[in-house]
Amino acid sequence: MQFFLEVLLGGLLSGIMYSLVALGFVLIYKASGVFNFAQGAMVFFAALTAVGLHDMGLSLWLAVPLTMAIMIVLAVAIEKIVLRPLVNQAEITLFMVTIGLTFFIEGLAQAIWGASVRKLELGIEDVPLEFLLDNAGIAISQFDLVAAGIAFVLVAALAIFFSKTKVGRALRAVADDHQAALSIGIPLQQIWVIVWGVAGFVALVAGLLWGARNGVQFALTFVALKALPVLILGGFTSVPGAIVGGLIIGASEKLAEVFLGPYVGGGIEGWFPYVLALLFLLVRPEGLFGEKIIRRI
Amino acid sequence: MDTGRKIGDVILSFENISLSFGGVKALTNIGFDVREHEIRAIIGPNGAGKSSMLNVINGVYHPQEGEIIFHGKHRRDMNTYESAKSGIARTFQNIALFKGMSVLDNIMTGRNLKMKSNFLLDAIYWGPARREEIEHRKKVEEIIDFLEIQHIRKTPVGRLAYGLQKRVELGRALAAEPSILLLDEPMAGMNVEEKQDMCRFILDVNDQLGTTIVLIEHDMGVVMDISDRVVVLDYGKKIGDGTPDEVRTNRDVINAYLGVAH
Amino acid sequence: MFYREAGQFKATYAEDSQIFPIRQDRIGMAIILLVAFVAVPLFASPYYFSAILIPFLIFALATLGLNILTGYAGQLSLGTAAFMAVGAFASYNFMLRIDGMPILIAFMLSGLCAAAVGIVFGLPSLRIRGFYLAASTLATQFFIVWCLTKIGWFTNYSSSGVITAQQIEILGYAFDTPMSKYLFVLIVVSVMALLAKNMVRSNTGRSWMAIRDMDMAAEVIGFRPMRTKLLAFAVSSFYCGVAGALYAYAYLGTVEPEGFSIEMSFRILFMVIIGGIGSVLGSFLGSAFIVLLPTALNVMFHFLEKDLGLELPSGISSSVELMVFGALIIFFLIVEPHGLARLWQIGKEKLRLWPFPH
């Protein structure tokens, strides 16, 4: 039972990481209707840039804000060069364009910083929390807990940003109806830049946390791919959905790997989330928290 | 206007049709019938439930209550495939053509239920598939001639003007050689000339092929001119039913609809 | 001026519905076939066969497969390589386990296996669309590769998971030189391309395009969405499966499941986008482009390093390759969503007048 709890908690905590990546997807999808496949590449790019700057001798306190500035520049460039010419195109075209973006950003990151794995030290040790180990006998990584805490703060901050600020309200208006938002004078382009900037920020946080845990490397983009089943579970438009979906995927893939894996040769973590999401789709295509789509003719 | 065509028996009728989406009632206790060879119009203000009614007829929407009697069979609802199979074709309010295909291909799709070929024969395209393709092409060319769109037969429909697209959509529906043709605002957004053309096509189809036509239209002049009988809906309820003259003098109808203008 | 159809009148519908209704196109196609079947085998070196021509043809076939699904039927898939893997490993097992199995039959059967898998993984398309479907096809990609890796039977319990394809032999003739393999692949690909062209220009193709363009209207007309979509999945997977078998038998010789990675699936999707969505010709153009691009980049980097003496960091060429791929996709989707095939068509229309201005 203790072991089960340990696996479950470990899974939930890594699930929070998925949630973070998924959050970036949801933000962009809500505001611009673009399913941004490149979110994973942005995570990779942000982490690699931060680490790269750090390795050049900058302190993290300098490297991280600088990376954020670069992410904003990237957001502006994406909006200007890629998205603006494709306004009003089919969703699927926009989706494919973000696949191209993925390759471009991944290539760019490696062209600038090289393809080798880089280590990132955030100063939080990845050791079991002694308090829990002593009292409950459960090994939970201190690092994971801190990461979860950061993720929680981030989500809370975003929630406040969306509900309390003027920009946040404009964002929600845009999410509801582009045309209507335009007609009352909300500058769509600016909103998009803001959203992509925020998504870049989320990517940076996710990238730093993932990178500190597993090293900053190309494999990060595969981790980010796992955000897709998270979105299917949670619904593409729901922030709480991204969180809950991430937790479910994180926990279930770990449980499946540990308890089911040995019977089938292991390695099922690689596909379990996708198959889970696929089965889920057949039952509830709109996701846990997504809006039901009524099709009209 | 009288062409000697004979209006026949009732071939399609509805009793107490009710349809709702979530809690919103779109149709309430609608009942009317359609006779063979007639032109039956459904009119009413925006949001009266006209399109919903058409969608019930060919099985896109499924009413929660009521009965549809078609070809003597009593049933709760239709399904799209069966309704197409039994000779119901339609056009849409917002043109629903296949944008990536040419005019010719669009109209050819209308013949799909009459084609027997399968994908293996199609792949070989020698013998039966080719013969069938050409045979149907002939039929489609007749429709193209009838609608006077020969010059655009190889143009992708996405590039055509609105009025022409409407014509192509009518062609696609006609290609199925339907016994009942449902037209959802065939003349919306057209200029006078285009409307006249469209009226002529509708009357010719009805007259020469004997096709029964159920149409929704906003242009009252047109409706009163070409239809044999008119159903009036308002807020999902039926408020009038009869010949154009009867409907014109119906108090409820005037209050709800026509009265606004006069 | 030289490319015009003036004076070529069609007297019958049969003439009008040929694949190449214009005489110049027929002559052009004949020349291409002549070059492919006669001139290339006479003059090309083994390097060209095995490094460029054979992969070009095989990827063209896979691209055609994906194009049927995505370009014609409008169902986006990110699991193409998985279907190729099914084809490769299925034909390996047919050849291995059934004595005297003719290779062409094995390829057919492996295509059918891929088609069956395609139908199963195409089932979600009945309820979901667009990128939901794309995301769910990732399940295909990862699950199938995992199955082939973990279930030893598929690889005949090879400890490394690598299989070595048997020799291609038809009626006692062994296709063991690069040139003979090229001719073998060329024949298979040409025949399948012709069959695909026939499907997309008849009712089958129209049913796919109708579902793609406006599924509700297609249903009202009498196309059955389930049957149509699953047929697209089946035919598409069949093509990918045969391409996978050719990939193992005529191109690499030895393959492992991980070789059919998600990168390969993306690469094939790129071939579709760059070549032309919904175009048979585009599948070939896209494949040629993407197969040649890395070679061209290598030549360029070689030139920069050797002749200009630039110091380039190691691994830069693969990063730049990613960037170029990405940039090209973005460029084509923005500027010419119908890809090279459309550019070719525009070029032909210009040729009707050239060299005169009007």
Instruction: Express each pLDDT in C299-322 by its tens digit.
Output: 888 888 887 777 777 678 888 989
Which pLDDT value is given to residue B5?
65
Q: Is the pLDDT of residue B242 over 80?
A: yes
Which pLDDT value is given to residue A296?
52
> Do C329 and A115 make contact, defined as CB atoms within 8 angstroms?
no
Q: Does C350 lie at the interface with A, CB-CB under 8 angstroms?
A: no
Residue to mutate among C323, C328, C332, with most A CBs inside 10 A, is: C323
- C-alpha angle with apex C326: C321 to C329, nearest 5 degrees? 125
Work out the average pLDDT over B54-83.
Answer: 90
Work out the average pLDDT over B60-71.
Answer: 91
Distance CA B204, CA B181 (A): 13
Provide the pLDDT confidence category of residue A295 given band limits of 50, 70 and 90. low
Work out the average pLDDT over C205-215.
Answer: 94
Q: Is the pLDDT of residue A131 over 80?
A: no
User: How many residues are given for chain A?
Assistant: 297
* CATH class for the domain made up of B1-87+178-197+211-262: alpha beta
Between A204-213, B237-246, C173-182, C233-242, the lowest mean confidence (pLDDT) is in A204-213
Distance CA A173, CA A168 (A): 9
Provide the pLDDT confidence category of residue A8 given band limits of 50, 70 and 90. confident
Local structure of residue C315 (DSSP, 8 states): T
Tell me whether residue C229 is in a domain: yes
pLDDT higher for C189 or A166? C189
Give me the residue label for tokens 């099922």: A268
Q: What is the ipTM of this complex?
A: 0.90
The three-state (H, E, C) secondary structure of B34-83, written as one string: EECCCEEEEECCCCCCHHHHHHHHCCCCCCCEEEEEECCEEECCCCHHHH
A94-117 residues labelled b (16+ CB within 10 A) or e (exposed): bbbbbbbbbbbbbbbbbbebbbee
Q: Is the pLDDT of residue B261 over 50?
A: no
Number of structural domains, chain C? 1
For residue A246 the two structure tokens come to 């991430």
Which pLDDT value is given to residue A281?
78
Of B90, B125, B172, the CB nearest to C202: B125
Which pLDDT value is given to residue B228?
94
Work out the average pLDDT over B201-222.
Answer: 92
> Do A297 and B94 make contact, defined as CB atoms within 8 angstroms?
yes
What is the sign of the dihedral through the CA atoms of C179, C181, C183 and C185? Answer: negative
| Domain span at C32 | 22-259
Distance CA C220, CA C355 (A): 49
- C-alpha angle with apex C87: C81 to C90, nearest 5 degrees? 135
Q: Is the pLDDT of residue C136 over 60?
A: yes
Q: Does B178 lie at the interface with C, CB-CB under 8 angstroms?
A: no
Which pLDDT value is given to residue B4?
53
Work out the average pLDDT over B60-78.
Answer: 89
Taking each helix axis as running N to C, give the angle between helix C280-302 and helix C54-66, from 0 to 180 degrees, rounded to the nearest 10. 140
Which pLDDT value is given to residue A3?
82
Provide the pLDDT confidence category of residue A166 given band limits of 50, 70 and 90. confident
Residue A165 identity (one-letter amino acid): T
Give me the residue label for tokens 């990405």: C326
Tell me whether residue C311 is in a domain: no
Work out the average pLDDT over B51-73.
Answer: 91
pLDDT per position as a tens digit, C79-121: 999 999 999 999 999 999 998 899 999 999 999 999 999 999 8
Which pLDDT value is given to residue B259?
53
Is residue B103 within 8 A of residue B84, CB to CB? The reply is no
Gap from A156 CA to chain B (nearest CA, Å): 34
Which pLDDT value is given to residue A243?
86
Q: Does C277 lie at the interface with B, CB-CB under 8 angstroms?
A: no
Taking each helix axis as running N to C, give the angle between helix C80-97 and helix C54-66, from 0 to 180 degrees, rounded to the nearest 10. 120
> Do C219 and B80 make contact, defined as CB atoms within 8 angstroms?
yes
Give me the residue label for tokens 């801190």: A146
Q: Is the pLDDT of residue B203 over 90?
A: yes
Which pLDDT value is given to residue C252?
94
Which pLDDT value is given to residue B110?
94
Q: Does B121 lie at the interface with A, CB-CB under 8 angstroms?
A: no
Is residue B206 within 8 A of residue B39, CB to CB? The reply is yes
Provide the pLDDT confidence category of residue B46 given band limits of 50, 70 and 90. confident
Q: Where in chain B is the domain with CATH 3.40.50.300?
A: 1-87+178-197+211-262, 96-177
Tell me whether residue C289 is in a domain: no
Q: C246-249, long-range: CB within 8 Å, 24+ apart, which pairs?
A: C246/C57, C246/C58, C246/C61, C246/C107, C246/C185, C246/C188, C246/C189, C247/C58, C247/C62, C247/C84, C247/C88, C248/C88, C248/C91, C248/C92, C248/C163, C248/C165, C249/C88, C249/C91, C249/C103, C249/C165, C249/C166, C249/C168
* End-to-end CA gap in chain C: 10
For residue C155 the two structure tokens come to 């690889």
Q: Is the pLDDT of residue A128 over 50?
A: yes
Which pLDDT value is given to residue A294?
52
Q: Is the pLDDT of residue C281 over 90?
A: yes
In chain A, domain spans: 2-283
Instruction: Report, at the CATH architecture level, how domain A2-283 is classified.
Output: Orthogonal Bundle (1.10)
Which pLDDT value is given to residue A187?
80
pLDDT higher for C98 or A287? C98
Of B101, B122, B137, the CB nearest to C213: B101
pLDDT per position as a tens digit, A64-108: 999 999 999 998 899 889 988 887 788 788 888 999 999 999 999
Residue B17 identity (one-letter amino acid): I
pLDDT per position as a tens digit, B2-14: 455 678 889 999 9
Q: Which chains touch A (3 or more CB pairs under 8 A)?
A: B, C
Provide the pLDDT confidence category of residue B262 given band limits of 50, 70 and 90. very low
Between A178-182, B161-165, C181-185, the lowest mean confidence (pLDDT) is in A178-182
Distance CA C88, CA A19 (A): 37
* Pair type for strands B88-90 and B180-184: parallel
Instruction: Report, at the CATH architecture level, how domain B96-177 is classified.
Output: 3-Layer(aba) Sandwich (3.40)
**What does the mean pLDDT of chain A come to?**
83
Prior bond to C355 cis, omega within 30?
yes
